[in-house]
Structure 1
Amino acid sequence: MKYWAVLLVAWLNSLLVYCATDKIVCYYGSWAYYRQGIGKVAPTDLNAKLCTHIIYTFVGLNEAAEVKLLDPWLDISLGGIKNTVALKQVNPNLKVLVAIGGWNQGGARFSIVAGSPSLRKRFAQNAVNFIKEYKFDGMDIDWEYPAGNGGLPQDKANFVLFLQELRSAFDQNKYILSAAVGGARARREESYDVPNLNKYLHLIHVMAYDLHGSWDGKTGANAPLYAGPGDNPDLNVDVIIQQWIQAGASPDKLILGMGFYGRSFTLANANNHGIGAQTLGPGIPGPITRASGSLSYTEICSNIKAGWTVVYDNKQQIPYAFQGNQWVGYDNIQSLEKKVDYAKTKGLGGVMVWSLDQDDIRNVCGGGSWTLLATINRKLRLTYLRYMIVMLDVAYSPPENNYLPFA
């Protein structure tokens, strides 16, 4: 292979991390620091080169429109915020945002602030001051949900005014404004004026998961790519994304959310373990996350390693696993590859993961460190220059050395 061609291939390889326009937005649940053993994940454990954006979760909002630390000991004394922001020293292209809200925050305080012109203005300035003080690159609004969870019907309109005020203040400081939004039709129609969200947000993180769970009374996939027989036609990733686009969202602003966890169930009959099987309630908590009805990917792959049966549903393009009366629907390498391909086909801005700390970070199950996140990177960030590199490498290598890089 000619020397200049070798250098060109090396240079193109070095650009792979930086040239892909698609985003990999990674939420980090800061409370993972408190987990025991292999489940403990500190900011210093994160791989800064596998994400384009990392979002530190969560800070809170009070009725006086102030940004409040929810765990000052973790966030400040233990260096949670400082060490997360410091990841930009490892990857200078990384953007680190802070998320405000979350399910536990509820909708009432957001509703109060968004409904008052003076409080909206005050919050915008407080948000700018907070971002500046802690050296973030922006803020992610995780209001779950306007007009729901303690909110008011007028939240849908007021959310637009809230974002308008923020965007004006953020643009003056070149900060990123994003939001995590509920995906399915009922939530979208109740909570979001999509064209105006599209106008004021840089990124729209669509939470296209939690589509089924123990609340259904029967087994179902956490985030099926496509609808299955007899399933609610609105509760799958494909329809959710298409509906958001039809409602007025720009595809390049939409970030497809994917879960690094599964929804688990206790079967009513251990011999009836397909999708749609009757259940008695949520699954048994895992040893790491200790949450009924939910298992991290590390917990799931550990169960599989211990003998759980895995079935891949080709219609919905998702796996599920079971043993005895325990059942879980989740995403694995194969299903995430399908979703990344889908995001690219639809021209979306990229993908989002909830959450970094639930991946198999330490190669417990033999799939490699950061099993799921590495899969996403391989599919999303390497393919754009792959063909050019392969062709150059083949063209300038001796016949006996022809091979396909990254195969």
Structure 2
Amino acid sequence: MVATRASRAKFISSALSFVTDYGFDGLDLQWAFPVCWQGDCTAGAAADKANFAMLLKELREVFDAKDNDLLLTAAVAAHDNIVQKAYDVGSMNKYLDFVNLMTFDFHGGWEPITGLVAPLYGSDASDTKSVDAAVKLYARMGLDKAKMVVGIPFYGQSYKLSTGGHSVAAPAAGPGLAGEKTQQRGMLAYHEICFRLRTGWMSKRTANGDPYMYLKDQWVSYEDVQSIKKKADYIASNGLGGAMVWTLDLDDFENKCCSEPQPLLRAVSRALRGVPSGPVQASCKQPPPAVTPAPPPMTTTYDSGAVQSPTTTKRPRPAFSETTTTTTTTTTTTTEKTTTTAPTTTTTSTTTPATTSAASTEAPHMTSPAPGGLKFNAIGFAADPESCSSYYRKTPEGPIKLTCSSPLHFNPESSQCDWPDAVKCQIKQGGE
């Protein structure tokens, strides 16, 4: 897409139309990564670096010609080997309003020893895998600190320990067990982490205040309210642009852990935006259910298909300086080590209803025993031969049974919970 001026122009035209037609504030670019595709710096073309810089320049020119208030931002790698090969930082500084640093996944279950998912500081002066090291690297390469937005993960990286050690850098034998909701080995959402902390897991902190926890052969590095407060203080004291998070749905949004709804997001907002303090004591009260806005009224008049731009109030583009700022930019990002499920997107459709991912259904429970003859597909899912709505997922500990939310059925072709009409399951049991 970035290789030629013509292909860039096509993308820019469509992006501008989408942003302006729907009244967005701007465009956030997320490419993982120029030259270093999915973190492999031998996979991409060397020309990606210059071509990405040209894309930023041409986007900025077209956006400013259309509307000088449109924002242009990008989510970028924080690993030093990728940064130096993938980015023309001078061009980023010139053409972008904010730069979202993906300062997480510095360590994970792909490594032979345990490590911290997003340490604020490295273990020593030579350790480049930390928030502070990434900020200093970009500053040396010419990025205005006021444009740097620090990424904060609302999840943890998990490991299976291979020995009796429980410290940072303990020997590991791969990723940890999957969570009840996220259902992905090697990571846990914060709402799964805080629940474990209430049910017997041991928690400790490094000398720099980074939390980790363990139980038996499971070990997790994560963020909590205390570590986030420390990062917010770092952001403010260094005059950085703010913070962004990955992702909102991984926080304890239902207050399952009896602190408050969305404790991590609130910790960021209190520290950087001055929102009111939290409850004096812990509360298990759940937030009210979200209210979905009513759909727009149907019309029988002729529709040409043109999208009408809504009336919006323009926000001035932020002014950058080396002074301390308390702006908080909340976005979501991807990383070279993909560890999280994709954000949920709600759409309105007049044709086929959207499907629901199998990984977003009810919590798994162990079968006792699983039916014989299960036929698992290439990604480890198998239909339940006795039920249209249930299915099995293969794990090293044995098959686990999951159930789709009513009235959905499991679709073995897509490994998703789908509408019955799309699945056409013939099993008749329990009123199905």
Give the TM-score, by structure 1 length: 0.64
**Alignment of 1:125 onto 2:13:** yes
Measure, in 2, the Cα distance between the counterparts of 1:307 and 1:135. Answer: 48
Measure, in 2, the Cα distance between the counterparts of 1:332 and 1:170. Answer: 38
Please, which of 235, 239, 251 is the counterpart of residue 129 of structure 2? 235
Partner SS state of residue 139, structure 1: strand
Partner deviation per Cα, 1:84-123 (whole Å, 9 max, x = no partner): xxxxxxxxxxxxxxxxxxxxxxxxxxxxx11100111111
Measure, in 2, the Cα distance between the counterparts of 1:223 and 1:290. Answer: 21
**Alignment of 1:372 onto 2:259:** no
CA RMSD of aligned residues (A): 1.5
Query: Per-residue deviation at 1:135?
Result: 2.6
Letter in 1 for 2:168: I
Letter in 2 for 1:304: L
Query: Per-residue deviation at 1:314?
Result: 2.2
Query: Per-residue deviation at 1:133?
Result: 2.9
Name the counterpart of 1:254: 148
Please, which of 298, 301, 305 is the counterpart of residue 198 of structure 2? 305
Q: Greater CA radius of gyration, 1 or 2?
A: 2
Name the counterpart of 2:93: 198
Alignment of 1:208-227 (within 5 A): 208-227=103-122
Query: Per-residue deviation at 1:132?
Result: 2.3
Please, which of 216, 219, 232 is the counterpart of residue 340 of structure 1? 232
Name the counterpart of 1:353: 245
Partner SS state of residue 213, structure 2: strand
Measure, in 1, the Cα distance between the counterparts of 2:23 and 2:126. Answer: 43
Partner deviation per Cα, 1:231-287 (whole Å, 9 max, x = no partner): 961001111111111110001110011100110000002x21100001110011101
Measure, in 2, the Cα distance between the counterparts of 1:118 and 1:226. Answer: 43
Measure, in 2, the Cα distance between the counterparts of 1:135 and 1:283. Answer: 42
Please, which of 246, 268, 273 is the counterpart of residue 166 of structure 2? 273
Identity %: 37
Counterpart contact for 2:269–2:275, Cα < 8 Å: no
Measure, in 1, the Cα distance between the counterparts of 2:150 and 2:272. Answer: 12
Query: Per-residue deviation at 1:185?
Result: 1.1
Partner deviation per Cα, 1:55-109 (whole Å, 9 max, x = no partner): xxxxxxxxxxxxxxxxxxxxxxxxxxxxxxxxxxxxxxxxxxxxxxxxxxxxxxx
Measure, in 2, the Cα distance between the counterparts of 1:222 and 1:341. Answer: 19
Number of residue pairs matched by the alignment? 269
Partner SS state of residue 126, structure 1: helix
Which of the two has greater helix per residue?
A: 1
Partner SS state of residue 352, structure 1: strand
Name the counterpart of 1:108: none
Query: Per-residue deviation at 1:151?
Result: 2.3
**Alignment of 1:142 onto 2:45:** no
Measure, in 2, the Cα distance between the counterparts of 1:380 and 1:136. Answer: 24
Letter in 1 for 2:157: R
**Alignment of 1:185 onto 2:77:** no
Letter in 1 for 2:101: V
Give the TM-score, by structure 2 length: 0.61
After the TM superposition, which parts of structure 1 deviate over 3 Å for at least 4 consecutive aligned residues? none
